[in-house]
């Protein structure tokens, strides 16, 4: 490249950089906007599903704990949706400010380019004679200088053409930017309207939640009775699970001819390692659902001073939902809870066990080898409360016996469970 060409590029480098910034900012904005819209659609989808669950629970004229939990979940989703809309508004605001700056800079540089181009046209008009160019070349001191002068004339002509093209390109970019700004301002206006609508729905849902809460507080004796029944069922289930796992440990020791410890076969060790590596990626125990009961100790949703403990998680789902395996494994037990008309299935994954409780019907038997997402049984529906809730627990064999793990940190985040 000649010195003339390098000088020209250096002179108008800011304009080239602005054009590049314009293109890059457009791509970046599009990607960020797509991510936010994808998240927004997923939240709206989950809110709609939660609405369908609430419709089922509302068939029971009496308020229920499950209804309260489902409504709380919906409120959380609504708050996340509003935050996502706010992020999208901020993204558009930043884009508008950035585009305004780029337009002003492009317009300033365009004025400089036009003035430079006008000077070139004027200079070209005064020296338009071919004779003058020939004289300019042939008046050189030597051949090397003549060659440089000829190159200068060629570069100058090319530069004039590029300047004309650059002016047209810059004008088009400014027009595109102005159109883009108008579009984004319309998008912002639409989002602000949507945000206000969502805030109105959120206020109504909070009011409904408070109403249900107050109605439940008047039914303290019924809630305590339900809680005692749930605790009895939980104790029976925990004992049955512990007995089955203890039998698995005994058999493993017997096979390994050991009196203590727990030895895995090579296949079991491989399965166990694979299960562990999928922490946070396991599919949900049902195709669709929302978590309405979390792991560990919590305050009762209504009864003051009363703690409840959950050995796993509860997933509210639609009536007729089918429980499915969260990972490959072997059925080590099918539990029947007397008097409750409920069943549970235990699936072993090496040193890990997944438990699927609150089933009405099971499709598997002890010894069956299941694959991930294979159907296990139909989730039980409480016909009086119109509540369908799957129960999942994850146990692990340790040196000191067994430990219970929080299934919520093992299964995939919302939107990735299907």
Let me know if domain 229-409 sits in CATH 1.10.10.10: no
Inter-CA distances, 14 with 8, 84, 115, 297, Å: 11, 35, 16, 61
- Per residue in 33-55, pLDDT (tens digit) is 888 888 999 999 999 999 888 88
Tell me the pLDDT band of 131, cut-offs 50, 70 and 90: very low
Instruction: Label residue 139 by pLDDT band (50, 70, 90).
Output: low
- Strand 313-316 relative to strand 290-293, pairing: antiparallel
Q: Which of 91-100, 107-116, 171-180, 339-348 has the highest mean pLDDT?
A: 339-348
List, by residue range, all CATH 2.70.70.10 domains of the chain: 229-409
Distance CA 137, CA 127 (A): 14
Query: CB-based contacts of 25: which residues, under 8 Å, 6+ apart?
Result: 95, 98, 99, 102
Q: What is the pTM of this model?
A: 0.73
pLDDT of residue 146: 60
414 in helix, strand or coil? coil
- What percent of the chain clears pLDDT 70, i.e. is strictly above it? 73
Q: What is the dihedral angle through the alpha carbons of 16, 19, 21, 25, rounded to the nearest 10 degrees?
A: -170
Among positive and negative, which fits the CA dihedral 328, 334, 337, 339? Answer: positive
Q: Which residues of 252-267 are buried (b: 16+ CB within 10 A; e: fewer)?
A: beeeeeeeeeeebeee
Do 347 and 335 touch, CB atoms closer than 8 A? no
Contact 399, 410 (CB under 8 A): no
pLDDT in tens, 384-399: 888 899 999 999 998 7
CA distances from 185 to 22, 40, 103, 195 (A): 18, 19, 16, 15
**Closest to 373 in 3D by CA, of 316, 312, 319, 322:** 322
Q: How far apart are CA 41 and CA 39, in angstroms?
A: 5
* pLDDT over 90, % of the chain: 43
Confidence of residue 248 (pLDDT cuts 50, 70, 90): confident
Instruction: Judge residue 53's burial from the number of C-beta atoms within 10 Å of its C-beta, 0-12 exposed, 13-18 middle, 19 or more buried.
Output: buried
Distance, in Å, from the CA atom of 318 to the CA atom of 314, rounded to the nearest integer, reads 13
CA 225 remoteness from chain centre: 39
- Residues 284 and 411 sit within 8 Å (Cβ to Cβ): yes
Pair 38, 46: CB distance under 8 Å: no
- The residue-averaged pLDDT of 191-195 equals 93
Please write the tens of the pLDDT for every residue from 255-273: 777 666 677 888 989 999 9
320-359: per-residue pLDDT in tens?
Answer: 999 999 999 999 999 998 777 799 999 999 999 999 999 9
Identify the H or E element spanning 353: strand 352-362
Distance CA 137, CA 153 (A): 9
């Amino acid at each position: 490249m000649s010195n003339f060409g390098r000088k020209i590029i250096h002179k108008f480098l800011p304009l080239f950089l602005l054009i590049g910034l314009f293109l890059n900012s457009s791509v970046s904005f599009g990607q960020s906007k797509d991510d936010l819209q994808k998240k927004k659609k997923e939240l709206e989808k989950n809110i709609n599903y939660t609405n369908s669950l609430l419709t089922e629970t509302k068939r029971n004229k009496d308020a229920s704990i499950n209804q309260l939990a489902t409504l709380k979940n919906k409120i959380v989703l609504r708050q996340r949706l509003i935050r996502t809309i706010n992020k999208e508004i901020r993204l558009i605001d930043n884009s508008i400010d950035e585009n305004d700056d780029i337009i002003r800079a492009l317009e300033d540089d365009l004025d400089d380019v036009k003035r430079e181009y006008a000077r070139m046209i004027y200079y070209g008009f005064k020296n338009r004679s071919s004779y003058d160019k020939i004289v300019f070349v042939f008046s050189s001191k030597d051949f090397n200088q003549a060659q440089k002068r000829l190159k200068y004339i060629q570069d100058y002509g090319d530069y004039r053409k590029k300047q004309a093209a650059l002016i047209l390109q810059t004008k088009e970019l400014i027009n595109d930017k102005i159109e883009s700004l108008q579009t984004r301002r319309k998008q912002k206006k639409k989002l602000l309207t949507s945000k206000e609508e969502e805030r109105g729905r959120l206020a109504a849902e909070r009011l409904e939640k408070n109403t249900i809460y107050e109605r439940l507080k008047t039914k303290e004796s019924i809630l305590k009775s339900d809680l005692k029944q749930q605790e009895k069922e939980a104790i029976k289930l925990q004992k049955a699970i512990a007995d089955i796992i203890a039998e698995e440990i005994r058999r493993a020791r017997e096979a390994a001819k050991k009196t203590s410890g727990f030895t895995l076969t090579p296949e079991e060790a491989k399965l166990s390692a694979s299960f562990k590596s999928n922490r946070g990626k396991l599919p949900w125990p049902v195709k669709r659902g929302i978590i309405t009961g979390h792991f560990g100790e919590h305050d009762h949703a209504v009864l003051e001073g009363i703690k409840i403990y959950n050995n796993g998680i509860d997933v509210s789902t639609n009536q007729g939902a089918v429980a499915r395996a969260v990972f490959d494994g072997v059925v080590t037990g099918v539990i029947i809870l007397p008097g409750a008309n409920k069943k549970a299935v235990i699936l072993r994954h090496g040193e890990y066990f997944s438990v699927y409780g609150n089933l009405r019907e099971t499709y598997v038997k002890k010894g069956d080898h299941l694959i991930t997402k294979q159907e296990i049984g139909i989730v039980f529906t409480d016909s009086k409360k119109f509540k369908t809730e799957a129960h999942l627990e994850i146990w692990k064999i340790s040196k000191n016996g067994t430990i219970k793990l929080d299934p919520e940190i093992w299964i995939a985040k919302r939107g990735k469970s299907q």
